[in-house]
Structure 1
């Protein structure tokens, strides 16, 4: 244990007041119950306090793993707040204590705080391509922050993408539908367009009066009941939340179905599949349905 700046006394010995010489009587332990007890005294010269290093905020996520058959557990994040642990050795030692605490407790926390949801099986059917189907005029964000209409994009063009912590980004629908988390942490990256085509749709979903419009099976990131997950756009509800390019969370306030013909642009990115459409984080996967086109 490091120095506190206080000097304490383990034993007491009796001295004469007049000349300061010892009386020769036996020493005795310095205990609080003794009438002669001497409390620790502040002495920062002899007992200079040790430097204390405090841990920084740390997070660790785990998936709830005690759900029954047919259910998938959500991913939950446990946080070790800043200054929760300290060390007189180094900052690395304090942070290591936080890491060890997280590792020892994150799974129990996930099992207690996480939720179990029925494993979603995406619909199947005809129609071409497994990629996001956004309508003509949708503005897609480029790496430099500028936006370009989806119909003006070209093959191999780089888009601004997002690497979401805990998400193994894939075009495998079953894996995407199983994923969820309670805290969305992401880093901005780039990803090129590897497939791009033009089709016509006769049914689309319009969110927030035109903020976002795509076919019903377009895969969309939403926050629902405190958890982020991917759902078909046709399942979106008023009260869900969307994630913006400014890292803000905005509510879904209106959902309408459009049955007029729309030009749509199925698009695939690789190796990362997320991108920003009209400033909303979305995904390029789309499970095709016959009535999408």
Structure 2
């Protein structure tokens, strides 16, 4: 089953001292394009983290963020420096009296003066974060992202298979119309042959050789068989368990090559119209394959 390259996964751990949040986002990319944002305490684990993600997510434009924040309970509280507050208040009061200004907000102003509010010294326990706590969070976030990718992949699978089925239907229409195309070509050749046979310069052997060459150039039997095989191979590959996005892209190129050859050799307006419709369905497939893992 196909997997999308688009996904999101997160995991969180909360302790008395801090909260750890791991988030992973993924978009489509031709290769693994990984951006990592880590707290200082995990900076020495960046290479290991990159290896885990590359092995688990294969490819995509991936953004990983691991954030650590202190909990409010552990953040401490502010303490008022009463002596400094009194000093500021008296100075402000004296200044207001000197200039004859009213002083209803002196307390608020004094409270906002530098170093009046002082934070209690609290031990920062976020440094206690260790790799053993983060590893299961990272793996959980990756698992959730892969579930997201799988869910998106189911919808993409149904959509792409519907396009393949449409190409099969159009190819069946080509197959149905091909006998009448061949008859029209034969009739046209016979008419030309009658006109040419009356000429003194007419060479029967050369004419037959050229007609054989011409008919072979118009024959689309092999292209139809190869196209059927490519469509079957594409469908089989869609349901393989491993990532198949690149392989499907190669198969779609082969499908396009056979469709184009049928269009160029058919020399028939009805079949060429059907070929145009097949090309439209193939373009839809290629567009969706850009987001397939």
TM-score of the two chains, using structure 2 as the length reference: 0.23
Quick one: higher RCO (CA 8 Å, sep 6+), 1 or 2?
Answer: 2
Task: Please state which structure has a larger fraction of its residues in helix.
Answer: 2
TM-score of the two chains, using structure 1 as the length reference: 0.23
Task: Please state which structure has a larger fraction of its residues in strand.
Answer: 1
